[in-house]
Structure 1
Amino acid sequence: MNTQVRSITADNNNNVYIGTDNKGAFFLSTIELTKEKPRAKQINELKTNTGINAIAVDSNNNIYFGIHRIGLYIIENNTKIARKINEINSSVFIIKISNQNNKVYVSEADYKSTMDVEYLINIIN
């Protein structure tokens, strides 16, 4: 089975996060990126055979992952451990973060419907 990249972003320290369609999420450090043959490391808590639809970074360097049929995960700044945000339990397709107030906007839908449910969740006070 071929793996395709669904999402990619860099954090505030220029580390790169890659979301795939069937192998979860991967991390490339800035040090690794300087090597001739860089190798991405799989993020243990985000090993999944379903897609990482979206990745976003807020001003506090928290990284958010929208996962198909699972929900929203966060790696809080400097923890390097992903944890589930329990308020969202269906597919997350889009994550946008306001530069003004650090609010996280999520577009989600359960797998039985189209993307018809949009709402605001304030994760960061």
Structure 2
Amino acid sequence: MSDNPRVILSAFADEAANHKTAVEQMVALSALGLRYYSPRFIDVNSDGNIKHVVDLNKSEYKSLLKLHDEYGINVTSIGARVGKIKLVDKDDGSHNVFVPFKEYLKKEVANTINAATTLGTKLIRGFSFYPPKAKTPNLT
């Protein structure tokens, strides 16, 4: 083990950007001396169109990568939504949605993996899936 361990500080830059534009986020990170972030909500083209990072198209990824190069920013992990769904298709009074697992893998999970690959990270931040409200999850 190294005598000088390396620690990487990372942030959600969208929380520091009034309009969630990519430029605002890069400037905020740079002003704080940060070189790493976990992208989530972002307006890549500064046109008021805020998207989750996994929903960007190829052109938007290309523009975002140019900004990363310009500002010396790297991606530590994708601030993903993976896991933010119900496990069971039952109305439980919550705002959580149900998506059949195969469909979820083909869309949300695949898009998240694409975002990670495109933006040069192997890490994805995820959530625990939601069991039915007021129920104890069966972990067996």
Q: TM-score, normalised by structure 2?
A: 0.24
Decide which structure has greater helix share: 2
Q: Which has the higher contact order (CA 8 A, sep 6+)?
A: 2
Decide which structure has greater strand share: 1
